[in-house]
Amino acid sequence: MAENPRHVPVLLEVAVRILNVRTGGTYVDATLGFAGHASAIAKALGPKGKLIGFDRDPEAFAFAKARLETLREELGEAMPEIVLHDVEFSLAADRLEAGSIDGLLADVGVSSMQLDEARRGFSFQADGNLDMRMNPRQGVTAEQVVNQFGEKELADLIYEFGEERRSRRIARAIVRARPITTTAELAKVVSGCAPPMKRERGKHVIHPATRTFQALRIYVNGELDELKALLDAAPRLLRPGGRLAVISFHSLEDRLVKDAFREGAQAGIYEVLTRKPLTAEQEEMDRNPRSRSAKLRAAEKLGISGFEKNKIGPGRPTAIQRRK
């Protein structure tokens, strides 16, 4: 299966490199998506290796499974063992043995695959139903939240998960305009009461509904709780010398990862490999605009490793962040 240009894995080379993938190891891709990262990891593992993948989105899971089957045809006997779980990655602790993982990668947040499908309701770029569920088999929809929550509850949600300073004004406008059933309707309501805002850095103007859509998506999918669960489980799942790498796309996610790594380092659990988050080069940003907001942080579980360490974290003078 050829690479779909709409679904380009973010920070692919950097992520695989910092995971320090070794032949015969056991690695987890907690967010399979289109299996871009998973395929790169699988190619480096060899026949004695093991790749474990998670994705709660049934469509993404089907894409990933098909792509990995195609990779199996390509690699033949060099293909590692593949184990896939069509559940949220917060259940990793229930599905994996303690101390069994050499590396864990999570590319969190919404994927381009989900954004591209108007019917999923993740984006206001095309009109679709207000759904936003990564797993359409469970949970409340964004439409239910928008039309059933009280004004204060909506305002608090938009402020907390969207970091939107105009949350009260937006919530008031939403309540007055109800019922709202499509992404275009919601975007119009928000745009009508809140003008566009510039980012703090640069001249790029973001759509006034961006933060409201982000807040609803995070709430509907419990994204921050999902990430917290994974960060809590990782120290138990990783072998000594195992690495955890997380790619996030907004400050709420990045703050959780940064704090977890710092607390882990203070507790003697981790060595933080990224003093500052790794970001995409200009070439990647031009090729894949979604990578502009991507930040990768990584840490290594302390202890005696079963394989030779290859320290490449930015905390060292010879780090992969020499470009910074």
CATH code of the domain containing 208:
1.10.150.170
Count CB-CB contacts under 10 A for residue 113. Answer: 19
Tell whether residue 55 is among the known ligand binding residues: yes
- Please state whether beta strands 101-107 and 197-198 pair in parallel, antiparallel, or not at all (unpaired): unpaired
Q: Are 56 and 226 in contact (CB under 8 A)?
A: no
Our count of domains for the chain comes to 2
Do residue 239 and residue 298 come from a single domain? yes
- Strands (DSSP E) contained in the chain are 26-29, 50-54, 81-85, 101-107, 197-198, 205-206, 238-248, 270-272, 295-301
Do residue 91 and residue 129 come from a single domain? no
Tell whether residue 85 is among the known ligand binding residues: no
Tell whether residue 207 is among the known ligand binding residues: no
Cα–Cα distance between 179 and 58 in angstroms, integer?
A: 29
Do residue 157 and residue 237 come from a single domain? no
Do residue 81 and residue 39 come from a single domain? yes
Cα–Cα distance between 52 and 27 in angstroms, integer?
A: 6
User: Which one, of 216, 288, 203, 293, lies nearest residue 250 by Cα?
Assistant: 293
Tell whether residue 313 is among the known ligand binding residues: no
Q: Which helix (H) or strand (E) holds 211?
A: helix 210-221
State both tokens at 104.
């864990």
Domain membership of residue 67 (yes or no) is yes
pLDDT for the residue numbered 143: 96
Do residue 107 and residue 168 come from a single domain? no
pLDDT for the residue numbered 317: 29
State both tokens at 258.
């940064």
Domain membership of residue 1 (yes or no) is no
Do residue 98 and residue 58 come from a single domain? yes
Do residue 201 and residue 176 come from a single domain? yes
Domain membership of residue 277 (yes or no) is yes
pLDDT for the residue numbered 324: 32
For residue 279, give the amino acid letter: T
3-state secondary structure of 261: helix
Do residue 177 and residue 82 come from a single domain? no
Do residue 84 and residue 33 come from a single domain? yes
Do residue 245 and residue 100 come from a single domain? yes
Tell whether residue 34 is among the known ligand binding residues: no
pLDDT per residue, tens digit, the chain (324 aa), is: 334 445 678 999 999 999 999 999 999 999 999 999 999 999 999 999 999 999 999 999 999 999 999 999 999 999 999 999 999 999 999 999 999 999 999 999 776 665 666 567 567 777 889 999 999 988 999 999 999 999 999 999 999 999 999 999 999 999 999 999 999 999 999 999 988 765 544 556 788 999 999 999 999 999 999 999 999 999 999 999 999 999 999 999 999 999 999 999 999 999 999 999 999 999 999 988 888 999 999 999 998 543 334 433 333 322 333 233
Tell whether residue 35 is among the known ligand binding residues: yes
Phi, psi of 158 (to 5 degrees): -65, -35
Residue that is last in its domain, among 221, 238, 270:
221
What's the distance, CA 46 to chain centroid?
Answer: 26
Domain membership of residue 6 (yes or no) is no
Residue that is last in its domain, among 201, 221, 241:
221
Domain membership of residue 7 (yes or no) is no
Tell whether residue 24 is among the known ligand binding residues: no
Domain membership of residue 3 (yes or no) is no
Domain that holds residue 200: 117-221
- Please state whether beta strands 205-206 and 197-198 pair in parallel, antiparallel, or not at all (unpaired): antiparallel
Residue that is last in its domain, among 221, 238, 271:
221
Say whether pTM exceeds 0.85: yes
State both tokens at 199.
């980012």
Specify the residue for token string 């896939």.
Answer: 84
Q: What is the CATH number of the domain that holds 32?
A: 3.40.50.150
Q: Are 284 and 291 in contact (CB under 8 A)?
A: yes
Cα–Cα distance between 104 and 234 in angstroms, integer?
A: 8
Domain membership of residue 238 (yes or no) is yes
User: Which one, of 218, 238, 222, lies nearest residue 92 by Cα?
Assistant: 238
Do residue 211 and residue 259 come from a single domain? no
DSSP 76: G
Do residue 107 and residue 180 come from a single domain? no
